[in-house]
């Protein structure tokens, strides 16, 4: 809210500052003011700091300070770190945290160096700050950009639609940030020996590849038909990747057809992978639900991947998470559509973007009233913290009841 944070030198209203801070720390990217033209360098630096903390996770950042100060980390803190980064065991958690911090620094610096020539060519010395900002924002799957103007708020990376270096750098940073810290370690440890990867890493890599390639092919053949074939590749691939909680765009999203908007909504809700900088229900959740459906179709007792059975409790958790995200996004969209008198599909796009911590928008967010902005704030917070985490925190079931009710059949389907 400080005057030094805005270009105009005026105090930013509390609700607008709260929305921006929530969007940054939840690595979403939805904004009520254009980041590049409204906020000063100081304000942008605060946003970038929140993005970095939100991307790595508050627990990981706190643990990194403990590591740098040389303090010993207790067993309880190690257990908390294990939960935060979805590690399979407590053993080696400190070493893994150190690996995450080093890898993050390497990836973000590499991305900035790759993008710097293109940005410096267009913006001079400012291009260095632009490269650093967009590299961190892309790696953390935040979607904040500082290239827009108040009159053209959603320019994002559209002026670099045909820039190979910018497109590939952002795409790779989004994918690397979104596949999860444990998957990095698997690749680093086992190199290209896919069979030696953890089952979870295999599922994440295959599911992520499918979710990138199939939508990209759809966009290529049905949305960018006005472009020459060679010029369709980058925008098709970019839109397919960015919907997985990143929030950048290189084309005007309002010009896309309704089926494409619907596909993007599905991709936004699925999001990235567990223990990553991305949001959404996660790729593993979607994979578990599909595997369970296939097991049901083939009359098998349980879902499985790579000759490994999936526990039924995991399937229940996956179904619960999906239902929660659908209820929250649809309820929020209905409320916003009713209050603002806007098309339901556009409102669903905004709420899915919020709960999936994506940040893509069809231009509705700055026009929303305080009530609708509060809905998006709650959705962004729920999407980043996680639905099950909120439920477990609110409902503490310390007493475990071992008795069961009588079993009775009910017909479904």
pLDDT digits (tens, 9 = 90+) for 274-332: 878 888 899 999 999 999 999 999 888 888 898 889 988 889 989 989 999 999 999 99
Contact 314, 203 (CB under 8 A): no
User: Residue 81's pLDDT band (boundaries 50, 70, 90)?
Assistant: low
Coil vs helix vs strand at 257: coil
Residue showing tokens 């950048």: 248
pLDDT value for 229: 86
Higher pLDDT, 289 or 388: 289
Mean pLDDT of 22-26: 91
Residue-wise over 6-32: b if at least 16 C-beta within 10 A, else e? beeeeebeeebbbbbbbbbbbbbbbbb
For position 152, what pLDDT does the model report? 40
Pairing of strands 308-309, 304-305: antiparallel
375 pLDDT band (50/70/90 cuts)? very high
Q: Give the residue with greater pLDDT, 230 vs 371.
A: 371
pLDDT at 153: 45
Reply yes or no on whether the pLDDT at 67 is more than 80. Answer: no
Asked if pLDDT for residue 82 goes beyond 90, the answer is no
Q: Of residues 313 and 389, which shows the higher confidence score? A: 313
d(Cα 142, Cα 134) in Å, to the nearest integer?
9
Among 17-31, 46-60, 203-217, 278-292, name the one with the lowest average pLDDT: 46-60
Q: How far apart are CA 271 and CA 260, in angstroms?
A: 16
DSSP 3-state assignment of 221? helix
Buried b (16+ CB within 10 A) or exposed e, 67-81: eeeeeeeeeebbeeb
Q: Can you give the pLDDT at residue 162?
A: 82
pLDDT at 86: 63
Surface-to-core class of residue 174, CB atoms within 10 Å of its CB (0-12 exposed, 13-18 middle, 19+ buried): buried
- Give, in degrees to the nearest 5, the angle at Cα 266 between 152 and 205: 105
DSSP 74: P
Query: pLDDT, tens digit, for every residue of 174-198?
Result: 999 888 888 888 888 888 888 888 8
State how far the alpha carbon of 118 is from the alpha carbons of 146, 208, 232, 307, 371, in Å: 15, 28, 21, 47, 40
DSSP 345-369: HHHHHHHHHHHTT----SS-GGG--
Residue with the bigger pLDDT between 150 and 42: it is 42
pLDDT at position 58, please?
Answer: 67
In 57-125, which ranges are continuous DSSP H helix? Answer: 58-69, 75-84, 93-123
pLDDT of residue 363: 82
**pLDDT value, residue 400:** 62
- The angle that helices 93-123 and 181-190 make with each other, rounded to 10 degrees, is 100
For 136-176, write each residue's pLDDT tens digit.
999 998 888 888 654 444 456 778 888 889 999 999 999 99
Task: Supply 57's token pair.
Answer: 């996770």
Residue 351 pLDDT greater than 80, yes or no = yes
The more confident residue out of 339 and 77 is 339
Share of the chain above pLDDT 90, in %: 44
From the list 332, 148, 180, the residue with the least C-alpha distance to 247 is 148
Write the CA distances from 280 to 73, 285, 310, 356, integer angstroms.
Answer: 30, 10, 21, 4
Q: Is the pLDDT of residue 59 over 70?
A: no
- The reported pTM is 0.87
Residue by residue, DSSP assigns 277-329 as S--SS-HHHHHHHHHHHHHHHTT-SS-EETTEEPPHHHHHHHHHHHHHHHHHH
What SS3 state is found at 400? coil
pLDDT given for residue 149 in this prediction: 59
pLDDT band at 385 (very low <50, low <70, confident <90, very high): confident
Residue 391 has pLDDT above 80, yes or no: no
Please, is 143 exposed, middle or buried when counting C-beta atoms within 10 Å of its C-beta (0-12, 13-18, 19+)?
buried
pLDDT value, residue 6: 93
Lowest mean pLDDT among 27-31, 131-135, 321-325: 27-31
Q: What is the mean pLDDT of residues 46-65?
A: 81
Mean pLDDT computed over every residue of the chain: 86
Query: Cβ-count burial of 233 within 10 angstroms (0-12 exposed, 13-18 middle, 19+ buried)?
Result: middle
Given a cut of 90, is residue 12 above it in pLDDT? yes
Check residue 411 and give its pLDDT: 77
In this model, does residue 396 exceed pLDDT 80?
A: no
CA atoms within 13 A on the CB side of 322: 17
């Amino acid at each position: 809210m400080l005057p030094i944070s805005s270009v105009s030198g005026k105090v930013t209203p509390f609700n607008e500052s709260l929305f921006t801070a929530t969007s940054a720390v939840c690595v979403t990217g939805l904004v009520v003011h254009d980041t590049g033209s409204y906020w000063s360098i100081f304000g942008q630096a605060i946003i970038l700091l929140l993005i970095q903390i939100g991307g790595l996770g508050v627990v990981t950042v706190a643990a990194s300070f403990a590591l740098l100060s040389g303090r010993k980390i207790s067993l309880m803190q190690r257990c908390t770190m294990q939960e935060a980064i979805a590690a399979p065991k407590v053993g080696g958690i400190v070493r893994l945290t150190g690996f995450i911090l080093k890898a993050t620094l390497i990836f973000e610096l590499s991305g900035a160096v790759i993008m710097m020539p293109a940005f410096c060519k267009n913006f001079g010395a400012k291009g260095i700050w632009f490269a650093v900002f967009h590299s961190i924002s892309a790696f953390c799957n935040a979607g904040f950009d500082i290239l827009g103007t108040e009159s053209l708020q959603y320019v994002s990376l559209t002026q670099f639609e045909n820039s190979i270096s910018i497109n590939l750098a952002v795409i790779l940073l989004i994918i690397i940030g979104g596949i999860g810290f444990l998957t990095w370690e698997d690749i680093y440890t086992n190199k290209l020996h896919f069979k030696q990867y953890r089952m979870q890493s295999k599922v994440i890599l295959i599911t992520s590849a499918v979710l990138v390639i199939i939508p990209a092919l759809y966009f290529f053949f049905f949305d960018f038909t006005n472009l020459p074939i060679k010029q369709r590749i980058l925008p098709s691939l970019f839109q397919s990747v960015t919907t997985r909680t990143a929030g950048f765009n290189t084309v005007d999203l309002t010009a896309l057809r309704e089926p494409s908007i619907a596909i993007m909504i599905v991709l936004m809700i699925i999001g990235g992978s567990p223990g990553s900088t991305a949001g959404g229900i996660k790729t593993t959740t979607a994979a578990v639900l599909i595997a369970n459906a296939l097991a049901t179709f083939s009359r098998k007792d349980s879902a499985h991947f790579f000759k490994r059975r999936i526990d039924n409790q995991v399937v229940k958790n996956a179904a619960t998470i999906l239902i929660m995200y659908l209820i929250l996004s649809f309820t929020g969209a209905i409320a916003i559509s009713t209050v603002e008198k806007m098309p339901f599909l556009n409102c669903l796009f905004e709420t899915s973007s919020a709960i999936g911590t994506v940040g893509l928008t069809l231009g509705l967010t700055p026009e929303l009233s305080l009530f609708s902005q509060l809905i998006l704030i709650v959705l962004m917070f729920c999407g980043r913290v996680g639905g099950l985490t909120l439920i477990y925190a609110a409902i503490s079931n310390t007493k475990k009841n071992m008795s069961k009710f009588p079993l009775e059949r009910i017909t479904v389907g």
